[in-house]
Amino acid sequence: MKLIFATGNEGKMKEIRAILKDLPLEILSLKEAGIAVDIDENGETFEENAVIKVKAVKAVLGEEPVILMSDDSGLVVDAMDGQPGVHSSRFMGEDTSYHIKNAEIIRRVNAAPEGNRACRFCCVIAALLPDGEVLTAAGTVEGEVAFEERGEGGFGYDPIFYLADKGKCMAELSAAEKNSLSHRARALAAMKEKLIPVLNRG
Ligand code: IMP
């Protein structure tokens, strides 16, 4: 069975292939499957966006019997009423550097009453099966907004995502360490558990 993952991000593809490697699936990126699709991610939740993405790919692909998978993720900050959330990549503008976005999040959290620094990375994976059934699986990792950026690893909001039990920001972890606890890895592991019975029923 073919599985097409709706991303152009090679880092994600590596993570997906590693986690799903023992399933009987040929895993392709959109590019490898020769699919070009422009997706308007206008959902209000991570789950809505993940489902919008698989359905958009299905509309282009037609009836080919494959599993289509996608993810949507972002940073949820309690003191910002859950922002940037589903707007994580668009927060303050798509072209604004993460150095500036991170500084703004620190500023807003520092100004919040009661010193609430809690935040989490969330990810929802959606899978559209050949019979039209949609499966979803979520993963989160809890953290705190740091007082300053730390670390050179990862991407995006990783330098301000402080993991109290590690005493480090996400950007200070090795790629292997991040992949062992990330929201995406957890969502993928949960999705894998849902896919196994589907693949077994043939
Ligand atoms: P997407 O789901 O790949 O579109 O990610 C949405 C946005 O969420 C990214 O552009 C980042 O701003 C943020 N984000 C998602 N996952 C991570 C992560 O692991 N580290 C840092 N930022 C992330």
What are the backbone angles phi and psi of residue 71, rounded to the nearest 5°?
-135, 160
Give me the residue label for tokens 């959330």: 85
Whether residue 71 has its Cβ less than 6 Å from ligand 1: yes
How far does CA 55 lie from the centroid of its chain? 17
Q: Taking Cα atoms as reference points, which of 117, 152, 11, 139 lies closest to residue 73?
A: 139
Q: Hey, where are the domains in the chain?
A: 2-200
Whether residue 162 has its Cβ less than 6 Å from ligand 1: no
Rounded Cα–Cα distance for residues 197 and 177 (Å): 29
- The CATH architecture assigned to 2-200 reads Alpha-Beta Complex (3.90)
pLDDT reported for residue 146: 98
Tell me whether residue 71 is one of the annotated catalytic residues: no
ω into residue 197 within 30 of 0, thus cis? no
The pTM of this model reads 0.94
Q: How do residues 8-42 score in pLDDT, each as one tens digit? A: 888 889 889 988 999 999 999 999 999 999 888 89
Rounded Cα–Cα distance for residues 81 and 109 (Å): 11
